[in-house]
Amino acid sequence: MDIQNLRSVVQWCSAIGMNMYLGFIKTKQVYQGGLKSACVPVLNCHSCPSALFSCPIGTIQHFMTIHKFPYLLTGYLAAIGISVGALACGWLCPFGLLQDLLYKIPSPKIRLPEKLSVLRYLVLFLLVILFPLVTQETWFSKVCPMGTIQAAIPWVMWNPVIPVYGEPAVSVQTLGALFIIKIMIAVAFLGLFILVKRPFCRLACPMGAIFGFFNKHSLLQLDVDTQKCKDCQKCRDICPVDINISDDPGNSTCVRCFACLKCDSVKVGVGKKPCVAGDKK
């Protein structure tokens, strides 16, 4: 099986496996069993009716609101990052899968400047850490398009309530401006998914910011043979995050999908130091 076909199978299995709880059909309640104490290594809304596990970003925000440090979660995410970098983003993330699928819709395509990826770190610092720490409100979860699509819209369509941990039930009639803002953000990103390769991953995803930080330092590394590389840009054409891996195999935006392995000059290895653009002859 081609590695990209294998990746598609893994992505679908991951998305389904994280959201297999069907008891909500009877109970109209979010699953709160023992599995909910564990976090998946990707963005997956814990308030989704069928979600079995917690979202690490939601959990980080929770710890910020109660002014405690998430030692166990930090170690868990660091262990994944040090081992495989952002591989979970490319192989396991349901939101990444949605972006990959929508980008296949025929339309004019737009390329974003790579420098805009710094916005992810602003989102991580401001919405996930600082604002929740200061205001005791989980601000990223309030506007996260993944949460809107997975949780807010399904519960509202179902009507009667949107169950949110630690908050009173909210009726459709009292949703107000915040819900409208959430919908607008989600619709804007859904439109971008058709036009741009993985825009949420590159512009706003705090999980991508966390794991991307480890790409240059993880045990799993991509390596480019600078003697074979002809700067043909084919790796960028097939890359789901629109980067030229030959310029920087440790690029923080890379999701380790391995699509670039179709080029003979790109290899994957363990413990190799990635080259940078200045290494190229």
The whole-number pLDDT of residue 231 equals 80
pLDDT 10s digit of each residue in the chain, 281 long?
789 999 999 999 999 999 999 998 888 788 989 999 999 999 999 989 899 999 999 999 999 999 999 999 999 999 999 999 999 999 999 999 999 999 999 999 999 998 999 999 999 999 999 999 999 999 999 999 999 999 888 888 775 444 444 444 444 444 678 888 999 999 999 999 999 999 999 999 999 999 999 999 999 999 888 888 888 888 889 999 999 988 888 999 999 999 999 888 899 988 765 544 445 44
Cα distance between residue 224 and residue 228, in whole Å: 8
What does the block give as tokens for 206?
Answer: 């705090």
CA angle 274, 279, 281 (to 5 degrees): 135
Cα distance between residue 278 and residue 262, in whole Å: 23
The answer to whether the beta carbons of residues 44 and 19 sit under 8 Å apart is: yes
The whole-number pLDDT of residue 228 equals 84
Could you give the C-alpha distances from 82 to 11, 116, 159, in angstroms and in order?
21, 24, 43
Alpha helix (H) residue ranges in 197-252: 199-203, 206-213, 234-238
- Is 80 in a helix, a strand, or coil? helix
Contacts of 104 (CB under 8 A, 6+ apart): none
The whole-number pLDDT of residue 272 equals 61
Question: Dihedral of CA 138/143/146/150: which sign?
Answer: positive
Query: Could you report the per-residue pLDDT of 80-118, keeping only the tens digit for each?
Result: 999 999 999 999 999 999 999 999 999 999 999 989 999
**262 phi, psi to nearest 5 deg:** -65, -20
The residue type at 226: T
Closest CA to 204 of 255, 140, 113, 110: 140
